[in-house]
Amino acid sequence: MDDATLVSRFQFAFTLTYHYLFPQLTMGLALLLVILKTLALRRGDERYNTAARFWAKIFAITFLMGVVTGVPMEFQFGTNWAQFSASTGAIIAQTLAMEGAFAFFLESAFLGVFLFGEHVFSPRLHWLSAVLVWLGTWASGGFIIATNAWMQHPVGYARLPDGTFQLTNYWDVLLNPWVVPEYLHAISGAVITGTVVMAGVGAYYLLTGQHLDFGRIFVTLGVSVGVVASIFQILPTGDLEGRQVTASQPVKLAGMEGLFHSERPAGIVILGQPDMARQRLDNPIIVPYVLSFLTYHVWTAEVKGLDTFPQAQWPDNVPLLYYAYHIMVGLGTFFIGIMALSVLLLWRRRLFESRWMLWILMLATPFPFVANTAGWLTAELGRQPWIVYGLMRTDAGSSANVSSANVLFTLIGFAGMYLILGLLYVVLVVQEAIGGPVTEAEGPEAAEGLTVF
């Protein structure tokens, strides 16, 4: 693989990883906003409306960051990956256009209604705007997943004599069997992010003795929805993802598990370090039979190792794939543990006084972002060396007339710009979090102290 392609891959990985820090939070918060507005409507408790307004501000700031950081990725299809775009544009342009024309429009339009229409529309219509923001946010993720799913498992196409791909059935692309498991797994991961962030902010309020009512609401809602999302992340979505990878991308499975040689039965590796020179795992801690059962639901099934496949078809960075996968799984297990323990303490009416558990919830706030990033790395590193799995290799998709120096120059520019944007985002969100939820009665009083120039 030439230098320009490698740097282009790194640039896309950098911009995608940075960008996805924001949509995963908005997709998670969108559901929680609907729940808060529903509780406000059903219970007639203004605290839930105040809580919804507080999180809507953080949602809006995060949404804006997601838009700004998402634009450069689409430009890269034309600048860095021109051959891929020319070959597959008839297919991937359909799903990306649908995302922009329908889902993004729905999300952004009704976000404005939700942010500024509380005193214009009735409570039920304002609740409906929250629902439509949620649907738009999740639909946007669905179209993006459909695009990625086609690259992982191409369907509904015909290959023309010049090598380009022609769309033959749009519904086959949208209903690709790869879509549902990948979508549900990504969405549950996003919900985990939203719930852990909400619970973490609530834990901070309880630990510092401020905004106590809202701290209890945030912790209660965060851990209650979080435990469901954490379990759902493993079963059924994680199981469905694992089984489809086993059936369609067995070489990815071998790389994820660090399985250099086929085994019958195969155990699952908890810890170990891939040694590519000797093609083995160093210092492995293995639970026997479990991998065979998880992949085939048969305790003694054979699981194919990397040695079964030509080395040219191996993922080109097996150690990074292995570590990304194990970080994802390890953190997913951690979320189940802390959320289940929190719910148990909540049920026993001891959570709000258990400072050690509140500390865990607060300090856990960054980890869903790490887990979701590791999950995307697993999906994309495992697809290599294919940009369209089994049909088009990654090095055949890059732009022929773009030098590595040009790509590196823009990468440095993106890094500098994203650093400034990231710092600004952190300042704005931290400022909102420290200020806390403000009731309507407090708003005018606070405004009296401001001077308008």
**Interval 125-135: pLDDT, tens:** 989 999 999 99
Cα–Cα distance, 52 to 429 (Å, whole number):
15
- Residue 264 domain-assigned? no
The mean pLDDT value for 28-56 works out to 93
Specify if 313 maps to a domain: no
- Please state, in angstroms and as integers, the Cα–Cα distance from residue 180 to each residue in 176, 177, 238, 385, following that order: 8, 6, 12, 24
pLDDT of residue 446: 36
Each residue's pLDDT tens digit, 390-420: 999 999 988 888 888 988 998 999 999 999 9
**pLDDT at residue number 75:** 84
Residue 189 reports pLDDT greater than 50: yes
Give the model's pLDDT for residue 447.
30
Residue 443 reports pLDDT greater than 60: no
Whether residue 411 is contained in a domain is answered as yes
pLDDT of residue 310: 92
Q: Give me 49's structure tokens.
A: 């409306």
Domain presence at residue 95: yes
Q: Give 356-369 pLDDT, tens digit per residue.
A: 999 999 999 999 99
At residue 445, does pLDDT exceed 50? no
**pLDDT at residue 440 in the model:** 63
The whole-number average pLDDT for the span 409-436 is 92
Q: Evaluate whether residue 350 is within a structural domain.
A: yes
Secondary structure class of 411 (helix, strand, coil):
helix
Strand, coil or helix: what is 284? strand
Q: What is the per-residue pLDDT for 452? A: 25
Torsion of CA 52, 57, 60, 61, to 10 degrees: -150
What is the extent of the structural domain holding 427?
3-239+318-448
Instruction: Determine the pLDDT at residue 104.
Output: 79
Q: What is the per-residue pLDDT for 412?
A: 92
Q: Report the distance separating Cα 212 and Cα 241, nearest Å.
A: 40
pLDDT digits (tens, 9 = 90+) for 138-162: 999 999 999 999 999 999 999 998 8
Q: How far is CA 175 from the centre of its chain?
A: 21
Q: How far apart are CA 262 and CA 202, in angstroms?
A: 48
Q: From CA 145, how far away is CA 151, in angstroms rounded?
A: 10
Task: Report how far residue 221's alpha carbon sits from residue 225's, in angstroms, rounded to the nearest whole number.
Answer: 6
What's the rounded mean pLDDT across residues 265-287?
90
In a domain, 211, yes or no: yes
Query: Position 372: which residue type?
Result: N
Highest average pLDDT, of 36-45, 336-345, 412-421, 430-439, comes from 336-345
For residues 433 and 66, give the distance between their C-alpha atoms in angstroms, rounded to a whole number.
19
Total Cβ atoms within 10 A of residue 339: 26
For the chain, the average pLDDT equals 90
Measure the CA–CA gap between 145 and 85, rounded to whole angstroms: 17
Q: Confirm whether 289 is domain-assigned.
A: no
DSSP 267: P
Q: pTM higher than 0.85 for the full model?
A: yes
Domain count, the chain: 1
Whether residue 432 is predicted with pLDDT greater than 50 in this model: the reply is yes
Nearest alpha carbon to residue 297 among 219, 214, 239: 239
Q: What percent of the chain has pLDDT over 70?
A: 96
User: What integer pLDDT is reported at residue 1 of this predicted model?
Assistant: 64
CA distance 71 to 213: 39
Q: Is residue 403 part of a domain?
A: yes
